[in-house]
Structure 1
């Protein structure tokens, strides 16, 4: 018996002003099956119940790219986007499924996870997504990645100042970083403000929202790149997490 994902068309429509077409729904279902299978060899996710997977992996991934309930305009066109520390492919794969015109790069430093994602992209026929194996502190200095992206996504990775240091160097001027968070406090906004200033960005908005099935509180931060990031950022591997910018 295959575990079927719920369709949730009404919730998609109410929360994101959008709903998946038949092909996208099929790709979400196929992705779910690939994750369940991959989980037998790799520790990809603890979230395997169909409804929980829908809410915490699919809906949450897409809610992040829809500030104020509208998708980020550049993603609807032909933006280049990067998902940093993608893990099992979230939020990058759901975003690539939803935004067929955007070019998505999925970055992770774990080869086994990248191998799993490569296989998944083939199975899902996703030609607008590709993988890259590496550490973000290093690729942030590679000419083919630095200042190359319109949108940078980062979910479940370290604290917000570290996320800012990982994302902003990769963005073109005017680009947008989307930082997915669970809890958030006013104090965190203050220390993030200083970090973002040093990195050439500004905090454009902070959204608090509630997940539609379990009513969990989540946050998303949107950072806009306004000037070039100084060449010294990101700092060497491990330093941003050991010594976050204040």
Structure 2
């Protein structure tokens, strides 16, 4: 991985990298590319695109995460944004969740290689964790970069967030907030802010949808995934 591209991406995102952090990021990406030759982890494979679309995009979230926060990344895939954030924010306690075992196995390899503490890779589904008292109402921040509709993301993620915490949904140009406010309120959340930004080389803007957890989520949520998809809030 080209170190200069990593440093430039960090600078654009407002991240100050130490030498050690830069080395860890490069090791992470090299293992990602090596593993991606065997199993499909990402369609983004050249260094410049990885630096912008994976690393910079992930690091844009950092400014909206409090110090020493517990963070859960739902549908983390190859570790974006959660693992990329953990490398540059050693104060965070990060749980990386994905329903695909091969992705979780890869994440554990990275965690072991980089000797990251306070970092857990978990093979699970968000709707199951949201009904598990070991995870429900446990996190300061939930983050998700999935293409799933915002009402669905909110139902999957908000039950995991403590009252007073926040969900950060990473969306494209259509942030979907207009049609999601009712669902967010039903789940105990409140739309706090939508932050729009652009990434180099992209023809469309990105959005960070920040949702505050104001009230406890009703115990009936999250519902089963088939119900969430067929009857979204």
TM-score interval w.r.t. the shorter chain? over 0.9
Partner of 2:104: 114
Q: Residues 85 and 108 of structure 1 are in contact (CA less than 8 Å); yes or no, is this contact kept in structure 2?
A: yes
The change in CA–CA distance for 1:56 and 1:223 in structure 2 (over 3 A counts) is: same
Hey, what's the Cα distance between the residues in 2 that align with 1:9 and 1:85?
26
> CA 1:120–1:10 in 2, change beyond 3 Å: closer, same or farther?
closer
| Correspondence 1:211 to 2:211 | no
1:85 maps to which residue?
Answer: 75
When normalised by structure 2's length, the TM-score is 0.94
Q: Alpha-carbon deviation of 1:131?
A: 1.3
* Change over 3 Å in CA distance of 1:124–1:210 after alignment to 2: same
TM-score, normalised to structure 1, is 0.89
Return the offset for 1:56. Answer: 0.4
Residue-by-residue CA offset, 1:67-123 (whole Å, 9 max, x unaligned):
xxxx1352x2x2110000111111110111111011000011111111111111111
The alignment of Structure 1 onto Structure 2 pairs a total of residues equal to 233
CA distance in 2, matches of 1:16, 1:116: 26
Which of 175, 178, 183 is the matching residue for 1:195? Answer: 183
Gaps of 5+ in 1: 66-70
Query: Within the alignment, does 1:235 sit opposite 2:232 as a pair?
Result: no
Which residue number corresponds to residue 225 of structure 1?
213
1:54 aligns with 2:44: no
Q: Which residue of 1 aligns with 2:131?
A: 141
Deviation, structure 1 residue 52: 0.5
Report the equivalent of 2:64: 72
Mark the CA change 1:163 to 1:96 in structure 2 (over 3 Å): closer, same or farther.
same
Aligned-pair RMSD on alpha carbons?
1.6
Q: Is 1:29 matched with 2:26? A: yes
CA contact (8 A) 2:173 2:204 kept: no
* Structure 2 unaligned residues grouped into runs of 5+: none
